[in-house]
Amino acid sequence: MFESRCGVCCNNCGRKEQVNCKGCIQMEMPFWGGECKVKSCCEKKGLDYCGKCVEFPCDMLSNMGKEQGYDPMVKITQCRKWLEEEQQK
């Protein structure tokens, strides 16, 4: 089952409690108070997460977090895994 729109495994996040994050699926706005463009995009398209999008993986997801030193392939791989799990049901 998916945990986020972008492929972050929220249940394994060590900062979740520290920043009082309930996960983007359960929150109207991200815990930092700004906008998450990936979250907004999925919700506008009526998608649970990016892996269900016909444009997956798009430039937005493929570049998400790169400036902060994160590897976006981790999230992309997770979205593919969630989609695969759903298709096997």
Residue 67 identity (one-letter amino acid): E
**pLDDT at site 2:** 86
SS3 (DSSP) at 5: coil
What pLDDT, on a 0 to 100 scale, did the predictor assign at position 11? 86
- The mean per-residue pLDDT over the stretch 5-12 comes to 91
* DSSP structure class, residue 26: T
Mark 5-29 as b/e (b = at least 16 C-beta within 10 Å): bbbbebeeeeeeeeeebebbeeeee
For the cut 90, the answer to whether the pLDDT of residue 13 exceeds it is no
pLDDT, tens digit, 9 for 90 and up, residues 14-67: 888 888 888 888 888 877 888 999 999 999 999 999 999 999 999 999 999 999
Put simply, whether the predicted model's pTM sits higher than 0.75 gets the answer: yes
pLDDT single digits (tens) 60-88: 999 999 999 999 999 999 999 999 999 99
Q: Please tell me the distance from the alpha carbon of residue 74 to that of residue 54, in angstroms, as a whole number.
A: 19
> How many residues are present in the chain?
89
